[in-house]
C-alpha cells in the first residue's frame, strides 16, 4: 500500500482546519499558500472530503471550509479513505467480499488479510487530534 499525495494532502488540509478551527471558515487559498500546494489540487481534495461529510463548505466573502466534527472524532483511516478510497494492500481486498476466483487456492491471501487488518487497526487508532499533537511535539515539520 502506498498513500498518494492526495491522501497526504487530505491529512494536511484536515490538520490545518483543526489547528485553526476557532477562526471560522478557512479559505483554501490560505491553506494553499501555507502548505505550498496548488489550489486546483486542494479544491479536488476538499471536494472529496466535503462529499464524505468530513468538512463543511461555505461560499461568499467569509466562506471557506471547516471541520464538521471535533478533531478527536476523526480517525486517520477515515480521512485517508475519503481521499484514497480503499487502503487495502492488494486489490482483491478492496471490497468486503473477495471476488477473486482463485481466493480459495491463494496461499498468500491470509498474509494480505492480516496486513490489511493491521493497517486498518493502526490507522483507526490515530485521531486527527493525535496527529496535531504529535506535529506540535516534532515542531510541525513535514516532508511531502
pLDDT for 18-41, tens place per residue?
A: 998 887 899 999 999 988 999 999
Q: How many residues would you count in the chain?
A: 144
Sign of CA dihedral 32, 15, 12, 60: negative
* Confidence bin at 143 (pLDDT 50/70/90): very low
pLDDT of 144 > 50? The answer is no
Q: What is the pLDDT of residue 141?
A: 52
Cα dist. 63→23, 26, 38 in Å?
11, 7, 19
Q: Which domains does the chain have, with CATH numbers?
A: 5-86+127-137 (1.10.10.10)
- Is 65:53 a contact under the CB 8 Å cutoff? no
CA nearest to 57, candidates 49, 65, 68: 65
Q: What is the pLDDT of residue 99?
A: 81
Count CB neighbours of 50 within 10 A. 15
pTM check: above 0.85: yes
Helix (H) or strand (E) holding 58: strand 55-58
Mean pLDDT along residues 5-18: 95
Q: Give the integer Cα–Cα distance in Å for 87 and 31.
A: 26
Q: What's the pLDDT tens digit per position in 84-136?
A: 998 999 888 988 888 888 888 999 999 999 999 999 999 999 999 999 988 66
- Is 48:9 a contact under the CB 8 Å cutoff? no
Q: Give the integer Cα–Cα distance in Å for 77 and 35.
A: 22
Angle, helices 76-84 vs 5-19, to 10°: value is: 130
Q: What is the pLDDT of residue 15?
A: 95
Stronger pLDDT, 67 or 144, i.e. the higher one:
67
Sign of CA dihedral 120, 123, 125, 128: negative
Q: What's the pLDDT tens digit per position in 53-64?
A: 999 999 988 889
Helices (H) and strands (E) in the chain, counts: 6, 2
pLDDT of 142 > 60? The answer is no
Amino acid at each position: 500500500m502506498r498513500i498518494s499525495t492526495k491522501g497526504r494532502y487530505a491529512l494536511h488540509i484536515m490538520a490545518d482546519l483543526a489547528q485553526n478551527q476557532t477562526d471560522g471558515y478557512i479559505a483554501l487559498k490560505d491553506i494553499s499558500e501555507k502548505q505550498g500546494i496548488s489550489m486546483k489540487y486542494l479544491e479536488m481534495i476538499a471536494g472529496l472530503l466535503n462529499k464524505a461529510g468530513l468538512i463543511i463548505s461555505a461560499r461568499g466573502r467569509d466562506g471557506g471550509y471547516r471541520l464538521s466534527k471535533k478533531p478527536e472524532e476523526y480517525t486517520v483511516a477515515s480521512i485517508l479513505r475519503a481521499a484514497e478510497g480503499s487502503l487495502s494492500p492488494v486489490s482483491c481486498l478492496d471490497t468486503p467480499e473477495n471476488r477473486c476466483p482463485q481466493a480459495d487456492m491463494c496461499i498468500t491471501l491470509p498474509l494480505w488479510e492480516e496486513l490489511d487488518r493491521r493497517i486498518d487497526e493502526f490507522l483507526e487508532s490515530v485521531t486527527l487530534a493525535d496527529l496535531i499533537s504529535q506535529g506540535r511535539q516534532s515542531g510541525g515539520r513535514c516532508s511531502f
